[in-house]
Chains A and B, each alone.
Chain A
Amino acid sequence: MKEIKVLGTGCTKCKNTVAVIEKVAAEKNIAINLEKVEDPAQIMTYAVMSTPAVVVDGEVVHKGSVPSTDDVAAFL
């Protein structure tokens, strides 16, 4: 089970990011534990300055935009 976190302060792009990840995970039948992180103090600990960002198992794999389905497939 992959631990996935979407970092973002609650804008539309962050919601879209969550939706893309859920969609791709469902299509590929991958079990994930998806969490949305909106607390700025927590986001800061990942040293990310452009949101939305995606963290997989504690590692920042994407930041600054809504990932494409290909992007998501690559890091899932």
Chain B
Amino acid sequence: MFKVFTDFADWLVFGVFNLSAQTKLGDALHFFVEDVSKIFVLLVVMIYVIALLRASLNIEAVRDYLAGKHRGIGYVLGSSFGVITPFCSCSSIPVFLGFTSAGIPVGITMAFLITSPLINEVAILLLMSLLGWKFTLIYIFIGMTIGILGGFFLDSIKAERWLKSFAAKALQQGQQAQNDNKNSKHKKDVSLQKLTMKERHQFAKNEAKDIFLRVWKWVFIGVGLGAALHGFVPDGWLQQHLGAGQWWSVPAAVLLGIPLYSNATGVIPVMESLLNNGLPIGTTLAFCMSTVAASFPEFILLKQVMQWRLLAVFFVMLLVAFTLVGWVFNFLTPYL
């Protein structure tokens, strides 16, 4: 199915540019053209199809569904909805406040907000086509686990103490309202929007355009990095110098990921090229998850609803989680 992209790269690089497959430049350029064209087509098609299917799932429905759920199941549900709900990081504050004022515990809200950027449907499909289903399952499992445990941890340290006062007040009122509802046995209907085919198409078209414009440069960077490594860095160099043997390479990768900021879809090509060039799986995961989930823009956004203390706890928690993921996977790789 993907052979058409190889043919296209053959034609462009060896035919039009007249480069030889034996030269480093020819080899690297061929890799670049093949991968970029493949990922671009996959992206646009997949985003469109998925958006078509989930056009009617909106964040309000998720909130109503989560409100009043038992905590234990709440973390799992919050994290699962994080996977399937369309989400843009600029909406994270309104979502946080919307959930909070519905009386949903901070931990469940954060389980949603941690998982949401890490995993989305487009990222899952892209992962499957580039890195195989086994790696995809590992990725989803870790992303959700971090969200679920992170949420649980935040609730167990009573993170709501360190919300900004207006947010804490909203949470209190929400929980009060929830209790009143329980007593009156009144249940709110959770309904999905009804959409016509034309509205779905419009939504999907906008999504495809939106996401593509956001991530195309990351695809260029990721694949470009891959092409450079592929053509110019000797095989095994990365493995030798940044391999699983160097314990410090994982925290270093996490720290390096903080100033970098990309969404999950954009970071996957980077992941592919790092893995294919022999960077250990744990180090790669740590770097990519840190790039996606821990960033300065996110920090500044969350500052609007959290006190410094909670913000610091939250970020340290993420960094520790990513580092542990990296170490555990580097350690386990020989046994997988």
> Are A49 and B94 CB-contacts (below 8 A) given A9-B301, A9-B304, A40-B305?
yes
Pick from B42-50, B95-103, B242-250, B281-289 the stretch touching chain A: B95-103
Residues from chain B with Cβ under 8 Å of A43 in the complex:
93-94, 97
A8 engages B305 (CB within 8 Å): no
Kindly state whether residue B124 has any CB partner on chain A within 8 Å. Answer: no
Chain A interface secondary structure, helix, strand, loop or mixed? loop
Kindly state whether residue A65 has any CB partner on chain B within 8 Å. Answer: yes
Which single residue of chain A is at the shortest CB-CB distance from B99? Answer: A49
* Cβ proximity bits A5-26 to B, threshold 8 Å, 1 near / 0 not: 0011111011000000000000
What band does the interface of chain B fall in when counting residues whose beta carbon is under 8 Å from A? 10 to 19
B311 to chain A, nearest CB (A): 14
* Cα distance A46–B192 in the bound complex, in angstroms: 21
B93 engages A9 (CB within 8 Å): yes
Which single residue of chain A is at the shortest CB-CB distance from B305? Answer: A40
Instruction: Tell which of A14, A41, A49 touches B90, judged by Cβ atoms closer than 8 Å.
Output: A14
Residues from chain A with Cβ under 8 Å of B101 in the complex:
44, 47
Residues from chain B with Cβ under 8 Å of A9 in the complex:
90, 93-94, 301, 304
A65 engages B206 (CB within 8 Å): yes
Chain B interface secondary structure, helix, strand, loop or mixed? helix
* Cα distance A7–B93 in the bound complex, in angstroms: 12
Which B259-308 residues have a C-beta within 8 angstroms of A? 301, 304-305
B304 engages A44 (CB within 8 Å): no
Instruction: Tell which of A10, A13, A44, A50 touches B59, judged by Cβ atoms closer than 8 Å.
Output: A50
B90 engages A51 (CB within 8 Å): yes
B91 engages A40 (CB within 8 Å): no
Which single residue of chain B is at the shortest CB-CB distance from A11? Answer: B90
Residues from chain A with Cβ under 8 Å of B206 in the complex:
65
B contact residues vs A (CB 8 Å cutoff): 58-60, 63, 88, 90-91, 93-95, 97-98, 101, 166, 170, 206, 301, 304-305
Known: A7-B94, A10-B90, A13-B88. 15 other contacts (CB 8 A): A9-B93, A11-B90, A13-B90, A40-B93, A40-B94, A40-B304, A43-B94, A43-B97, A44-B166, A44-B170, A48-B94, A48-B98, A49-B59, A50-B95, A51-B91
A contact residues vs B (CB 8 Å cutoff): 7-11, 13-14, 40-41, 43-44, 47-51, 64-65
